[in-house]
Amino acid sequence: MSLDQEVATLKRIPLFANIDTSRLKLMAFASQRMIFKDGQALCQQGDPGDAAYIVIEGRADVLIDTADGPLKVATLSSNDIVGEIAILIDVPRTATVKAAGEVVTLKITKDLFFRMVSDFPEIAIEVMRVLAHRLEKTNEQLRAARS
Amino acid sequence: MEPNLFKYIWRHSKRDQAAILLLVLVSLPFYFASLNLPKQIVNVGIQGKGFAGPADTQVMGKLFLPLGDVLFGHPVLLFGGLRFDQVETLLILSFAFLGLVCVNGAFKFVINTAKGRLGERMLRRLRFELSDRLLRFRLGQLRRMKGPEVATMIKDEVEPLGGFIGDAFVTPAFLGGQAITAMVFIMSQSLWLGLIAGGIVLLQALLIPRLRIPILRLGKQRQLTARQLAGRVGEVMDGAVEIHANDGSNWERAELTSRLGQIFHIRFEIYQRKFFVKFLNNFLSQLTPFIFYAGGGLLAIYGQLDIGSLVAVIAAYKDLPGPIRDLINWEQQRQDVQIKYDQVIEQFQPTDILEPAKQDPDAEVRPLDGMLSASSLTLIDDNNQRQVDGVSFELPLDRHIALVGDAISGKDHLAMLLAGLAPPSGGKVRIGEQDLQDLPEAVLGRRIGYVDPAAYLFSTSLRDNLLYGLRHRPLREAEQDGKAIEAWKAALAESLRAGNSPFHLEADWTDYEAAGCTGPDDLLARVLEVLDVVDLGEDVYRFGLNGSIDPAAQPDVAGRLLEARNALTRRLAEQSREDLVVRFDAEQYNANASLAENLLFGTPKRADYEAEALIDNALVGGALQQAGLQELLGEKGLAIARTMVEIFADLPPGHPFFEQFSFIDADDLPEFRQLVTRAEQRGVEQLPAEDRRRIKALPFRYIEARHRLGLVDDVFETRVLEARRLIAEAVRRRDPTAVEFYDAEAYNSAASILDNVLFGRLVYGQAGAEEAVGAAVRETLDELDLKPSVCAIGLDFEVGVGGKRLSATQRQKTALARALLKRPDLLVVNQATAVMDGATRARLVENVLRAREGRGVAWAIERAALAERFEQVLVLRNGRLIDNGAFDDLSGRSEDLKMLLAAD
Q: How many CB atoms lie within 10 A of CB B588?
A: 12
The Cα–Cα gap between B624 and B160 comes to: 60
Tell me if the domain spanning A3-146 has CATH number 3.40.50.720.
Answer: no
**Contact with chain A for residue B769, Cβ under 8 A:** no
* Chain A positions in Cβ-Cβ contact with residue B767 (cut-off 8 Å): 34-37, 40, 42
Question: What is the nearest CA distance from B398 to chain A, expressed in angstroms?
Answer: 46
Give B439's pLDDT tier (boundaries 50, 70, 90). Answer: very high
B514-527 pLDDT per residue, tens: 999 998 889 999 99
Contact A4 B710 (CB under 8 A): yes
Give residues 657 to 676 of B whose Cβ lies within 8 Å of A. Answer: 657, 660-661
Q: How many CB atoms lie within 10 A of CB B141?
A: 14
Tell me if the domain spanning B371-468+800-903 has CATH number 3.40.50.300.
Answer: yes
The Cα–Cα gap between B633 and B636 comes to: 5
Contact A30 B707 (CB under 8 A): no
Phi-psi region of B280 (alpha: psi -120 to 50; beta: other; left: phi over 0): alpha
The Cα–Cα gap between B871 and B885 comes to: 8
Which residues make beta-bridge pairs with B872?
B401
For residues B848 and A8, the model is more confident at B848
B853-895 pLDDT per residue, tens: 999 999 999 999 999 999 999 999 999 999 999 999 998 888 9
**Vertex A100 angle, CA A99 and A103, to 5°:** 55
> For residues B376 and B426, is the Cβ–Cβ distance under 8 A?
yes
Contact B708 A119 (CB under 8 A): no
Identify the pLDDT of residue B480: 81
Contact B765 A119 (CB under 8 A): no
Which residue of A lies nearest to B661 if distances are taken between CA atoms? A30
B252-307 pLDDT per residue, tens: 999 999 999 999 999 999 999 989 988 988 888 888 888 888 888 888 888 777 77
Query: Which residues of A fall below an 8 Å CB-CB distance to B?
Result: 1-4, 6, 22-23, 25-26, 28-30, 32-37, 40, 42, 115, 119-120
Which residues make beta-bridge pairs with A33?
A106
The CATH homologous superfamily to which domain B182-350 belongs is: ABC transporter type 1, transmembrane domain (1.20.1560.10)
Q: Complex ipTM above 0.95? A: no
For residues B275 and B89, the model is more confident at B275
Identify the pLDDT of residue B206: 85
* Chain B positions in Cβ-Cβ contact with residue A30 (cut-off 8 Å): 657, 660-661
Same fold, B182-350 and B371-468+800-903: no
Contact B651 A4 (CB under 8 A): no
Beta strands, E only, B223-318: none
Contact A119 B651 (CB under 8 A): yes
* Chain B positions in Cβ-Cβ contact with residue A28 (cut-off 8 Å): 708
What would the DSSP string read from start to end of B152-209?
HIIIIITHHHHHHHTTTTHHHHHHHHHHHHHHHHHHHH-HHHHHHHHHHHHHHHHHHH
Which residue of B lies nearest to A118 if distances are taken between CA atoms? B651
> For residues B222 and B263, is the Cβ–Cβ distance under 8 A?
yes
B400-426 pLDDT per residue, tens: 999 999 989 999 999 999 999 989 999
**Vertex B668 angle, CA B664 and B674, to 5°:** 105
Identify the pLDDT of residue A69: 85
Q: What is the mean pLDDT of residues B712-726?
A: 93
Contacts of B557 (CB under 8 A, 6+ apart): B549, B551, B786, B789
Residue of B647, B656, B709 lying closest to A22 (CB–CB)? B647
Contact B643 A115 (CB under 8 A): no
Give A127's pLDDT tier (boundaries 50, 70, 90). Answer: confident
Arithmetic mean of pLDDT over chain B = 89
> For residues B875 and B883, is the Cβ–Cβ distance under 8 A?
yes
> For residues A29 and A73, is the Cβ–Cβ distance under 8 A?
no
* Chain A positions in Cβ-Cβ contact with residue B657 (cut-off 8 Å): 26, 30, 115
The Cα–Cα gap between B56 and B84 comes to: 8
Q: How many CB atoms lie within 10 A of CB A34?
A: 21
Phi-psi region of B510 (alpha: psi -120 to 50; beta: other; left: phi over 0): beta
Most B CBs within 10 A among A22, A36, A47, A118, hence the mutation to make, goes to A22
Most B CBs within 10 A among A2, A19, A29, hence the mutation to make, goes to A29
Please provide the size of chain B in residues.
904
The Cα–Cα gap between B300 and B308 comes to: 9
With a cut of 60, say whether residue B652 has pLDDT above it.
yes
Please provide the size of chain A in residues.
147
B601-620 pLDDT per residue, tens: 999 999 999 988 899 999 99
Q: What is the mean pLDDT of residues B666-670?
A: 84
Give B755's pLDDT tier (boundaries 50, 70, 90). Answer: very high
Question: What is the nearest CA distance from B538 to chain A, expressed in angstroms?
Answer: 25
The Cα–Cα gap between B13 and B28 comes to: 23
Alpha-carbon Rg for chain A, nearest whole angstrom, is 16
With a cut of 90, say whether residue B542 has pLDDT above it.
yes
Identify the pLDDT of residue B706: 87
* Chain B positions in Cβ-Cβ contact with residue A36 (cut-off 8 Å): 767
Q: How far, CA to CA in Å, does B492 sit from each of A115, B486, B750?
A: 67, 10, 38
Contact A1 B648 (CB under 8 A): no
Q: Where are the alpha helices (DSSP H) in B668-713?
A: 669-682, 689-697, 704-707
What are the sequence ranges of the domains in chain A?
3-146
B441-484 pLDDT per residue, tens: 999 999 999 999 999 999 999 999 999 999 999 998 888 888 98
Q: How far, CA to CA in Å, does B454 sit from each of B212, B367, B809, B813, B829?
A: 49, 28, 10, 11, 11
Most A CBs within 10 A among B647, B659, B763, hence the mutation to make, goes to B647
Contact A42 B650 (CB under 8 A): no
Contact A34 B657 (CB under 8 A): no
Which residue of A lies nearest to B659 if distances are taken between CA atoms? A30
Which residue of B lies nearest to A106 if distances are taken between CA atoms? B765
Q: Is the dihedral of CA B318, B323, B328, B333 positive or negative?
A: positive
Q: How far, CA to CA in Å, does B288 sit from each of A30, B321, B683, B778, B802?
A: 92, 10, 91, 92, 64
- DSSP conformation class of B868: G
Task: Output helix, strand, coil percentages for chain B, rounded to the nearest 5.
Answer: 65, 10, 25
**Contact with chain A for residue B767, Cβ under 8 A:** yes
Which residue of B lies nearest to A36 if distances are taken between CA atoms? B767
Contact A33 B707 (CB under 8 A): no
Which residue of A lies nearest to B711 if distances are taken between CA atoms? A2
* Chain A positions in Cβ-Cβ contact with residue B646 (cut-off 8 Å): 22, 25
Span of B41-55, B99-113, B463-477, B757-771 with lowest mean pLDDT: B41-55
**Contact with chain A for residue B709, Cβ under 8 A:** yes
Beta strands B448-451 and B826-830 are parallel
The Cα–Cα gap between B115 and B109 comes to: 10
Most A CBs within 10 A among B669, B706, B708, B716, hence the mutation to make, goes to B708
Which residue of B lies nearest to A33 if distances are taken between CA atoms? B765
Which residue of B lies nearest to A38 if distances are taken between CA atoms? B767
Contact A26 B709 (CB under 8 A): no
Give A1's pLDDT tier (boundaries 50, 70, 90). Answer: low
Classify B199 as helix, strand or coil: helix
Question: What is the nearest CA distance from B709 to chain A, expressed in angstroms?
Answer: 6
Which residues make beta-bridge pairs with B400?
B857
* Chain B positions in Cβ-Cβ contact with residue A4 (cut-off 8 Å): 710
Contact B767 A35 (CB under 8 A): yes
With a cut of 80, say whether residue B250 has pLDDT above it.
yes
Residue of A1, A6, A22 lying closest to B646 (CB–CB)? A22
* Chain A positions in Cβ-Cβ contact with residue B656 (cut-off 8 Å): 115
What are the sequence ranges of the domains in chain B?
1-51+83-136, 182-350, 371-468+800-903, 548-584+749-795, 605-741
Span of B180-184, B379-383, B887-891 with lowest mean pLDDT: B180-184
B553-577 pLDDT per residue, tens: 889 989 999 999 999 999 999 988 8
The Cα–Cα gap between B374 and B858 comes to: 13
CA-nearest of B900, B902, B835 to B402 is B900
Q: What is the mean pLDDT of residues B30-56?
A: 76
Question: What is the nearest CA distance from B844 to chain A, expressed in angstroms?
Answer: 28
With a cut of 80, say whether residue B25 has pLDDT above it.
yes
Which residue of A lies nearest to B663 if distances are taken between CA atoms? A29
Give A98's pLDDT tier (boundaries 50, 70, 90). Answer: very high
How many CB pairs below 8 Å do chains A and B form together?
55
Which residues make beta-bridge pairs with B448?
B826
Identify the pLDDT of residue B61: 67
- DSSP conformation class of A93: -
Span of B30-34, B572-576, B635-639, B678-682 with lowest mean pLDDT: B30-34
- DSSP conformation class of A14: G
Q: Which helix (H) or strand (E) holds B246?
A: none
With a cut of 90, say whether residue B726 has pLDDT above it.
yes
Identify the pLDDT of residue B481: 85
- CA B578 to chain CA centroid, Å, is 49
Give residues 291 to 330 of B whose Cβ lies within 8 Å of A. Answer: none
Give residues 616 to 655 of B whose Cβ lies within 8 Å of A. Answer: 643, 646-651, 655
Which residues make beta-bridge pairs with A64?
A71
Beta strands, E only, B546-590: 581-583
Phi and psi of B556, rounded to 5°?
-65, -50
